């Protein structure tokens, strides 16, 4: 798409958001790089109506994990808990290692595990904000569809992804 | 599509197009830095833009807007005028290029009938929402792309949420959601190496126009019945929306000219629902999905056909009919079908998407060579929810596609191909997987990731209404 006479900047249709890779959503239904954090929601292994809200701050690598009712995660003491580990693993699947590492501002050598490169400690983060972003994310699935044409979507063609 | 028709497109641009695009580039450059701090050079570009439109009905408003923006006293009405001017300029590029394409293809196009305005007043709720959108768009324009940060992006969240809940404003909601996601992924924009300035200015402009209080924009229309022969389906998608736009030929019941039409079904989604899973979001339209997957014609009864050529889909007023080969439709029915008019607001080169049949070419996968005239193939636009791959395109002998125009260049976007793979004739259409994946390799890949839609619906059911 970048070939041809005019510069990339002068195209109406270019890919700006890198493609997201498909992954299993059962354990970690929600991951995002937003608000200066890698943040997401991890389903509890023991209680289907409980979820953990986990986040890692870009730059400082401050770690946070608590339930959606704001109880601190018992597994997070000094080292990261299994929820944070799952969050990082799924984020790497979804966005690719490079993009996650760049966002968190961490150097990951070839073959290294991203989690082991983080040097942050426990830090408070707004779990309620992350959880409400997750609920907002889920709310999209409840919006009714439409058969009225949306011509604006011509700016957003499906561009395929890594198969 | 023949070599001579391609040749006609490849000669130089219609008069005025390059000049118009230069003015748009000047405008977009100003928006990159922000209308809040133009500087001498960018103010001059904006003044040139306004001056070029001087003889149009927008002339006086644009002259005032350019002056006020340069003086640093920008008001909402000035930004609305500037958005209107940019849209009009690109509208003229659209008209010139589409006209050239119609001439090359020998395609007859219907003329636009302005619908009788509806007297229904917009609800207060919608009026307030539109005002909220405009104020965010104003801030964006004053700040400029280079100044966009997390706070400015997040400031759109509340408006956006309310907008999505209002079905009559879905077009604006889907557009803004797409723009906001791109800005969020690009934050802080100041550190970006290069910016999609044409694209973002396009999206800002259209959002500004859709955020103006207005009458019904659907474009009137009529009620029709008849047989719809499918040519192919195009997939539109961003993180939180997917739209299947079916191109076809409508044979009206009781005779009359065959018409080139589109019909669209769209659903909201999230970014982790990708690939063939998106079809599952459209299960409310089983008749349409069946016709796509099984290559059948459709009988429609008393459905609205808008002035824009959009057949408003009603699955309960349609029946899947006999098998109908899209390639046969393209060979026999496409040339004589009447093309629809383009509504004034939609006139932008990005919307040029004329279905054509191309055959008798040689290809390396990147271009189709027709007797020495080459048409570029946009293999970046093969959706992951269908079976088309760059390899199939490279092995193809016939292709149904959409002719598109972007940044001065014509391309063909494939919707279906006939190809020869290992000495066997194969066919692939974008809609082949509408009822589920049929390719064993893709079935495996899907099984590995599980049913994303089901997982998220379960989570929504358990967590949303607590």
Q: What is the pLDDT, as a whole number, of residue A119? A: 84
Average pLDDT for A64-93: 91
Residues B84, B129 share a domain: no
pLDDT at A2: 38
- CA B199 to chain A, closest CA, distance in angstroms equals 4
Indicate whether B429 belongs to any domain.
no
With respect to residue B458, please indicate whether it lies within any of the assigned structural domains.
Answer: no
Do residues B198 and B208 make contact, with C-beta atoms less than 8 angstroms apart? no
Residue A154 lies in a domain: no
Is there a domain that residue B455 lies in?
A: no
A8 lies in some domain: no
Tokens (6 digits) for B372: 């020495």
Whether B138 and B94 share a structural domain: no
Please tell me whether residues B192 and B226 are part of one structural domain: no
Quote the CA–CA distance of B381 and B383 in Å, as a whole number. Answer: 6
| Positions of chain B with pLDDT lower than 70, given as ranges | 117-123, 215-219, 465-466
Mean of all residue pLDDT scores within chain A: 89
Does some domain include residue B315?
yes
Which of B183, B214, B245 delimits the end of a domain? B214
In a domain, A79, yes or no: yes
**Residue B361 neighbours by CB under 8 Å, 6+ apart:** B368, B369, B370, B375, B397
The reply to whether A75 falls in a domain is: yes
> How many beta carbons lie within 10 A of that of residue A111, not counting itself?
5
pLDDT over 70 (residue A136): yes
Strands B296-305 and B409-421: unpaired
Q: Based on the structure, what is the number of domains in chain B?
A: 3
B377 belongs to a structural domain: no
**B325, B255 contact by CB (below 8 A):** no
Residue B77 backbone dihedrals phi, psi, to 5 degrees: -65, -30
Q: Which domain holds residue A67?
A: 19-135
Residue B278 and residue B307 in one domain: yes
Question: Encoding tokens for residue B180?
Answer: 């906001």
Contact between chains at A20 and B264 (C-beta distance less than 8 A) = no
Percent of chain A whose predicted confidence (pLDDT) is above 90: 62
Asked whether the beta carbons of residue B236 and residue A22 sit closer than 8 angstroms, the reply is: no
Provide the domain count of chain A. 1
pLDDT per residue over B162-209, tens digit each? 999 999 999 999 999 999 999 998 988 998 889 999 999 999 999 999
The reported pLDDT for the residue numbered A109 is 85
Q: Does A149 touch chain B (CB under 8 A)?
A: yes
Contacts of A59 (CB under 8 A, 6+ apart): A36, A104, A105
Distance CA B383, CA B388 (A): 7
pLDDT tens digits, residue range B289-309?
Answer: 999 999 999 999 999 999 999
Rounded mean pLDDT, A76-99: 92
B188 in a structural domain: yes
Two tokens, residue A124: 């408070």
Cβ-contact A20, B422 below 8 angstroms: no
Whether residue A1 lies inside any domain: the answer is no
| Among B283, B306, B332, residue at a domain's last position | B332
Strands (E), B362-408: 362-363, 367-370, 373-377, 396-406
Same domain, B227 and B261: yes
Contact (Cβ atoms closer than 8 angstroms) between residue B229 and residue B251? yes
- What are the pLDDT digits (tens) for A35-75? 889 999 999 988 888 899 999 999 999 999 999 888 999 88
- Do residues B8 and B104 make contact, with C-beta atoms less than 8 angstroms apart? yes
Backbone angles phi, psi at B459, to 5 degrees: -60, -40
Give this complex's ipTM.
0.96
Q: How far apart are CA B41 and CA B30, in angstroms?
A: 9
Mutation test of the interface with chain A: which of B463, B464, B465, B466, choosing the one with the most A Cβ atoms within 10 A? B463
Are the Cβ atoms of A150 and B171 closer than 8 angstroms? Answer: yes
> For B272, which of A1, A7, A94 is closest by C-beta distance?
A94
Hey, are the CB atoms on B171 and A25 less than 8 Å from each other?
Answer: no
Query: Has residue A3 got a pLDDT over 60?
Result: no
Q: Answer yes or no: is B444 within a domain.
A: no
Residue B208 shares a structural domain with residue B229: no
Residue B349, C-beta contacts closer than 8 angstroms, at least 6 positions apart: A12, B90, B93, B94, B97, B405, B406
The pLDDT value recorded for residue B50 is: 97
- pLDDT of B289 reads 98
Which domain does B311 fall in, by range? 222-332
Question: Is the Cβ of A2 closer than 8 Å to some Cβ of chain B?
Answer: no
Dihedral angle sign, alpha carbons of residues B451, B457, B461, B464? positive
Which residues from B are below 8 Å from A153, CB to CB? 174, 236-238, 241, 243, 245, 266
The domain boundary residue, chosen from B106, B133, B156: B106
> Token pair of A42, please?
């991890």
Q: Is A129 on the interface with B (CB under 8 A)?
A: no
Q: Say if A112 is an interface residue toward chain B (CB within 8 Å).
A: no
- Identify whether residues B177 and B259 lie together within a single domain: no
Q: Which of A150, A155, A156 comes nearest B170 by C-beta?
A: A150
Q: Best of B90, B157, B243 to disrupt the A interface by mutation (most A CBs within 10 Å)?
A: B243
SS3 B13: coil
Contact A154 B456 (CB under 8 A): no
**List of chain B residues whose C-beta atoms are within 8 Å of the C-beta of residue A13:** 199, 350, 406
Shared domain check, B75 and B18: yes
């Amino acid at each position: 798409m970048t070939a041809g006479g005019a510069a990339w900047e002068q195209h109406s249709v270019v890919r700006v958001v890198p493609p997201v890779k498909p992954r299993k959503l059962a354990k970690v239904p929600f991951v995002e790089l937003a608000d200066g954090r890698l943040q997401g929601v991890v389903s509890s292994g023991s209680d289907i109506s409980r979820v953990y809200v986990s986040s890692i701050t870009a730059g400082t690598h401050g770690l946070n994990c608590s339930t959606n009712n704001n109880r601190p995660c018992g597994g997070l003491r000094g080292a990261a808990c299994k929820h944070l580990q799952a969050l990082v693993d799924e984020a790497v699947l979804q966005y690719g290692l490079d993009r996650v590492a760049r966002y968190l501002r961490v150097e990951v050598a070839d073959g290294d595990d991203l989690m082991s490169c983080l040097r942050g400690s426990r830090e408070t983060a707004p779990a309620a904000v992350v959880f409400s972003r997750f609920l907002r994310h889920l709310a999209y699935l409840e919006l009714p569809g439409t058969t009225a044409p949306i011509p604006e979507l011509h700016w957003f063609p499906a561009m395929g992804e890594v198969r | 599509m023949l070599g001579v028709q391609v040749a006609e497109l490849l000669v130089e641009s219609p008069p005025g197009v390059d000049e118009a695009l230069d003015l748009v580039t000047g405008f977009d450059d100003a928006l990159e830095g922000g209308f809040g701090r133009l500087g001498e050079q960018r103010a001059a570009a904006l003044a040139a833009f306004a001056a070029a439109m001087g003889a149009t009905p927008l002339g006086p408003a644009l002259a005032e807007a350019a002056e006020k923006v340069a003086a640093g006293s920008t008001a909402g009405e000035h930004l609305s005028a500037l958005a209107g001017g940019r849209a009009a300029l690109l509208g003229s590029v659209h008209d010139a290029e589409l006209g050239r394409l119609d001439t090359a293809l020998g395609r007859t196009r219907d003329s636009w009938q302005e619908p009788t305005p509806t007297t229904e007043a917009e609800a207060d709720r919608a009026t307030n929402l539109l005002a909220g959108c405009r104020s965010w768009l104003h801030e964006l324009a004053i700040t400029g792309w280079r100044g966009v940060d997390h706070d400015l992006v997040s400031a759109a969240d509340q408006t956006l949420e309310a907008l999505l809940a209002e079905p009559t404003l879905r077009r604006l909601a889907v557009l803004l959601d797409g723009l906001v996601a791109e800005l969020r992924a690009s934050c802080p924009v100041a550190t970006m190496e290069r910016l999609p300035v044409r694209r973002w200015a396009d999206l800002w402009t259209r959002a500004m126009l859709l955020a103006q209080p207005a009458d019904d924009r659907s474009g009137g229309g009529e009620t029709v019945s008849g047989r719809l022969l499918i040519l192919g389906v195009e997939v539109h998608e961003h993180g939180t929306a997917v739209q299947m736009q079916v191109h076809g030929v409508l044979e009206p019941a009781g005779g009359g000219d065959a018409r080139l039409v589109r019909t669209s079904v769209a659903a909201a989604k999230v970014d982790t629902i990708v690939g063939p899973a998106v079809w599952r979001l459209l299960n409310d339209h089983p008749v349409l999905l069946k016709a796509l997957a099984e290559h059948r014609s459709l009988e429609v009864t008393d459905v609205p056909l808008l002035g824009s050529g959009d057949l408003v889909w009603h699955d309960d007023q349609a029946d899947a009919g006999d098998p109908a080969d899209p390639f046969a439709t393209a060979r026999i029915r496409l040339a004589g079908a009447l093309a629809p008019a383009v509504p004034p607001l939609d006139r932008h080169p990005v919307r040029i998407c004329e279905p054509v049949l191309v055959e008798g070419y040689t290809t390396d996968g990147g271009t189709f060579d027709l007797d020495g005239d080459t048409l570029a193939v946009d293999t970046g636009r093969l959706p992951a929810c269908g079976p088309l791959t760059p390899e199939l395109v490279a092995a193809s002998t016939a292709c149904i596609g959409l002719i598109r125009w972007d940044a001065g260049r014509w391309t063909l976007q494939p919707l279906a191909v006939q190809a020869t793979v290992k000495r066997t004739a194969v066919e692939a259409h974008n809609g082949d997987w509408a009822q589920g994946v049929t390719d064993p390799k893709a079935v495996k890949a899907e099984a590995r990731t599980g049913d994303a839609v089901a997982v998220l619906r379960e989570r929504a059911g358990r967590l949303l209404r607590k």
